[in-house]
Amino acid sequence: MGEIKVVELFAGVGGLRVGLENASSDFKTVWANQWEPGRKNQFAFDCYDHHFRDTGSVNVNDDIAKVKNQVPEHDLLVGGFPCQDYSVAATKAKGIEGKKGVLWWSIHDIIKNRHPKYIILENVDRLVRSPVKQRGRDFGIILRCLADEGYYVEWRIINAAEYGLQQRRRRTFIFACRNDVPFARTYEDNYFEDVVRKEGFFARAFPITGKIDSKKVNKFSIGVSDYETLVDVSDEFTEDFYRGGVMTGYGIYTREVEPKPPSTQITLGDLLQKDVDERYYKVDLEKWRYMKGAKKALRTRKDGSTYHYSEGAIPFPDILERPGRTMLTSEGSVNRSSHLILDPQTGRYRILTPVECERLNGFPDGWTDTGMSERQRYFTMGNALVVPLIETMGRCLMAIDGCTPEASVTEQSSKQVSKQ
């Protein structure tokens, strides 16, 4: 098998590309797009372009809706897109139109134009449940779009820490391949459970136990006989999706899954630097204790009514013997969600350094040290994904495409610890 040509959308600082290229040199990115709307400085793109400027790929810093027709032929489409309102409406010309600015529709147009062999997408874990008032609608729209374009689809909500990695970060991952690909032709409706439990793309990469909760299993169809048009899906569809699932044709099977416990675990303590600069120790402990502590307060709504707001305590300081918590874009600031540790070398409290945040996501040390401010380094890492998960998916994709044997995520997490 030859190289796999990759197009990367919403590239950020390049986590998807780093993971794929760690998996195999046969992944060749030919076109990439990163655009932060409303910002004069494009820090994430500048970082991406700094690392991949002279690699043969075309790196585009513009609104994807404006440049989607520039996307060349490719084998694998990847991207981490935001959770937005995916609803559609009928137009006067009896066509179908999604809301402006919703990035899924640019992805959809690229898929329709190029029909790549494979697709890997990443989104927040709540994607399969949104919106609240019509549970599952948004994910149903995405699945119907992919089915209409002739794709077999799997999904899995993955918490990186449950597979031995260093951050408790839950994300929805979608894998799709064209129905003419041998891997897709292998499975028919009666093999749904085998796909989810042992034979599918995600089952190979991220093993699960055989335990099934009969109350959290769902099977249904989203075809034309059920919902004539995509507008009907948008207006009427509501179903429960769980952490794992598969779609062949228009038939869908989904259930809750339980990850197999890893044999090794990377912890926050494994990632710490030594001899950290004094500026990271400048913390107001009383303020941090208050923010991390449990709270109850009476608040007022816009209509004048009141309600009781409460939030539980967060460990203070963060526990070094466990994986880090989900890192947000506010990391490093005086914020409830930021990590605060008791440095084992000095016995003093401090925040994490930008390098430690890069390690939390599995990036090489100094990856974001490309001219942006420290505040932006924290911000871009809060927007990034856990790179070793993508490396695992890349290895599995190469195996499916007939190139190399698979490597488990546990094997890779062990290697990562040895590099720190």
147 and 244 in a single domain? The answer is yes
Classify residue 378: in a domain, yes or no: no
Q: Choosing from 83, 145, 177, 357, which is the catalytic residue?
A: 83
Domain of 9 in residue numbering reads as 4-262+390-400
40 and 136 in a single domain? The answer is yes
Structural domain count, the chain: 2
Cβ atoms 384, 9 nearer than 8 A: no
Rounded to 5°, the CA angle 132-136-141 comes to 125
- 360-378 per-position pLDDT tens digit: 999 999 999 999 999 999 9
* Residue ranges of E strands in 302-358: 306-311, 340-342, 349-351
CA 378 remoteness from chain centre: 18
- 227-249 per-position pLDDT tens digit: 999 999 999 999 999 999 999 99
- 132-174 per-position pLDDT tens digit: 899 999 999 999 999 999 999 999 999 999 999 999 999 999 9
Classify residue 295: in a domain, yes or no: yes
Residue 94: the pLDDT is 42
Place of tokens 């190289």: 3
pLDDT band at 405 (very low <50, low <70, confident <90, very high): low
Pairwise CA distance, residues 127 & 241, whole Å: 10
Burial of 327 (0-12, 13-18, 19+ CB in 10 A): buried
Classify residue 382: in a domain, yes or no: no
How many CB atoms lie under 10 A from the CB of residue 219?
14
Q: Which residue, among 28, 40, 30, has the nearest Cα to 60 in the 3D structure?
A: 30
In this structure, of 78-87, 199-208, 364-373, the range with the lowest mean pLDDT score is 78-87
- Specify whether 83 is catalytic: yes
**Exposure string for 139-157, b = 16+ CB within 10 A, e = fewer:** bbbbbbbbbbeebbbbbbb
CATH value at residue 67: 3.40.50.150
311 and 348 in a single domain? The answer is yes
Cβ atoms 244, 194 nearer than 8 A: no
Residues 6+ apart with CB under 8 A from 204: 198, 396, 399, 406
Q: pTM score, two decimals? A: 0.92
Cβ atoms 167, 327 nearer than 8 A: yes
